[in-house]
Amino acid sequence: MTQNAQSNRLRYVIVGAGMAGMLAGIKLLQRGVTNFAIYEKADRIGGTWRENTYPGLTCDVPSHSYTYSFEPYPDWTCLMPSGAEIQEYFEKVRVKYGLDDYLHFKKEITTCEYVEGKWCIQTACGHKDYADIVIAATGVLHHPRIPEIEGMDSFNGAIFHSARWDHSVPPDGRRIAVIGTGSTGVQIVSALSKIAAQLTHFQRTPQWIMPVENRPFTNEEKAAFHSDPEILKRMQNDPELEANIERFSAAITDPESDAMKQIDELVLNNLEQSVKDPELREKLRPDYKPACKRLIYSPDFYEAVQRPNVEVVVEGVDRIEPEGIRSCDGQLHEFDVIVLATGFRADMFVRPAQVKGRGGVSLDDVWGDSPQAYMAIMIPDFPNFFMLNGPGGPVGNFSLIEIAEHQWNYVEQLIRLVEGGDCREVCVTSEAFEQFERDRIAAAKHTIFATGCDSWYLDARGIPATWPWTRQRFKQEMAAPKPEALELN
């Protein structure tokens, strides 16, 4: 049999049509594999860029690095593109690579069970599929964390989560509250401070802010990106940016490193020099190490919170009343709109889909509230089930596209074993999975994420749930699976 015939003998199901699911589809097609389906719960591709449409949404990874390596994009308008521009990029990629024939929208996978050597997949609307190989590309941050605040239902105005933006509510000239100071809250405050009549930022924990420039590309630059593929490639693989990423990677794995001291200095100077009012400066000063929470890059947050129509409230949210928010000091702040920029549940991954592996073992039982996966990809007893951007991956301040591409390289080598007839099923051994997790936890406890702040990086046990080693090590691990870690049947 030819390679194509061997590959198409197998059926592949991809869960999710975001950046990683699209990547998997494209990579299969590039190898001549056509016997696959991409199931998506929503009505469009795009994942996080489809779901988040809040004012000010931008990517803090430079545009030319936030592209598939095989699909550079000369049309980026600026260094850090808006969410809408990124969504447009993915839509163009969808068309160019002919993914429409494989996309199934409004088909949320509810169960995925391994029965007699096949994955039986069922969607909420009753559709069934049977796959040899499942790629779970469901993303990390897609289940909004709605805080439990007393009186939330009593509010007379509009109230919504940042990832469920209500565009029927015009923010111009309104009195708006933003609860939350993560990357999202910071971007929303920066954008709305320019148009709201009054904007109140409820900050439970201050954040360190890394200054960054976001400038539009000039017409000359854009013309050069179009006319010279080498220039575009250089933008994609900018050596200066590469060096910065390496320094950042070194810093988060070694909080005492010189690289981390440089970050400390940059964010401290930014606070000291940008915020004039000493009282406001102290409100904004974190008491934990920079990058312990995901580091926020912003060109204009400090400028935004110093505008006369902006107030930062640190007294805490006591309850919500029909007219607004009562802070813990007893003061009532009146609003027309309340935005919950309160983050996401980072422990869900492919769930709430019920995934059951060999012998009916369920992912919920294996994971509980602390999901884990060998190399962020595989779980024992879940054969031929591979995750892209699964638990324990390098999720902080890196281009997740690059991460997913490395993971795909690894997954593809596993898939080839099945396609080539070396085995019917492949998964990680229990020993390798457990040893990996022990090593990962031991290393995670020495990362910057474990230096005493709370963040979505921490699992329910308070242990960082991220890749704890350098980016270089991740790339090395992804280059080739270790045969001794694999169980082939």
The verdict on 204 binding ligand NAP (CB under 6 A) reads yes
**Distance of closest approach, residue 139 Cβ to ligand NAP, in angstroms:** 11
Query: Stretches 38-46, 57-65, 125-133, 221-229: which one binds ligand NAP (CB under 6 A)?
Result: 57-65
The verdict on 181 binding ligand NAP (CB under 6 A) reads yes
The verdict on 67 binding ligand NAP (CB under 6 A) reads no
Query: Stretches 5-13, 119-127, 175-183, 361-369: which one binds ligand NAP (CB under 6 A)?
Result: 175-183
Among 59, 196, 275, 339, binds ligand NAP (CB under 6 A): 59
Residue 436's nearest CA partner among 479, 393, 407, 406 is 393
Residue in this structure with the two tokens 């039982």, named with its chain if needed: 365
Give the pair of three-digit tokens for residue 338.
């309340």
Find the residue with minimal CB distance to ligand NAP: 182
Query: Stretches 170-178, 180-188, 320-328, 476-484: which one binds ligand NAP (CB under 6 A)?
Result: 180-188
Query: Stretches 115-123, 191-199, 340-348, 436-444: which one binds ligand NAP (CB under 6 A)?
Result: 340-348
Region 269-308 residues binding ligand NAP, contact defined as CB under 6 A: 294
The total of other beta-carbon atoms located within 10 Å of residue 484's CB is 8
Given a contact cutoff of 8 angstroms between Cβ atoms, the answer to whether 310 and 193 are in contact is yes
Between 236 and 466, name the residue whose CB sits nearer to ligand NAP. Answer: 466
**Distance of closest approach, residue 148 Cβ to ligand NAP, in angstroms:** 7
The verdict on 327 binding ligand NAP (CB under 6 A) reads no
Question: Using CA atoms, how far apart are residues 487 and 489, in angstroms rounded to an integer?
Answer: 7
Burial track 109-133 (b if 16+ CB lie within 10 A, e otherwise): beebebeeeebebbbeeeeebebbb
Among 25, 47, 81, 182, binds ligand NAP (CB under 6 A): 182
Number of residues located near ligand NAP, criterion CB under 6 A = 24
The verdict on 324 binding ligand NAP (CB under 6 A) reads no
Among 65, 198, 342, 447, binds ligand NAP (CB under 6 A): 342
The verdict on 409 binding ligand NAP (CB under 6 A) reads no
Burial track 385-409 (b if 16+ CB lie within 10 A, e otherwise): bbbbbbbbbbbbbbbbbbbbbbbbe
The verdict on 183 binding ligand NAP (CB under 6 A) reads yes
The verdict on 64 binding ligand NAP (CB under 6 A) reads no
User: What phi, psi does 416 have (nearest 5°)?
Assistant: -60, -30
| Cα 256 versus chain centre, distance | 27
Among 176, 209, 263, 317, binds ligand NAP (CB under 6 A): 317
Query: Stretches 182-190, 350-358, 369-377, 409-417: which one binds ligand NAP (CB under 6 A)?
Result: 182-190
**Distance of closest approach, residue 85 Cβ to ligand NAP, in angstroms:** 13
Among 121, 141, 251, 401, binds ligand NAP (CB under 6 A): 141
Region 447-476 residues binding ligand NAP, contact defined as CB under 6 A: 454, 456
Question: Using CA atoms, how far apart are residues 86 and 90, in angstroms rounded to an integer?
Answer: 6
Contact positions vs ligand NAP (CB under 6 A): 58-60, 141, 147, 179-185, 187, 202, 204-205, 294, 317, 341-344, 454, 456
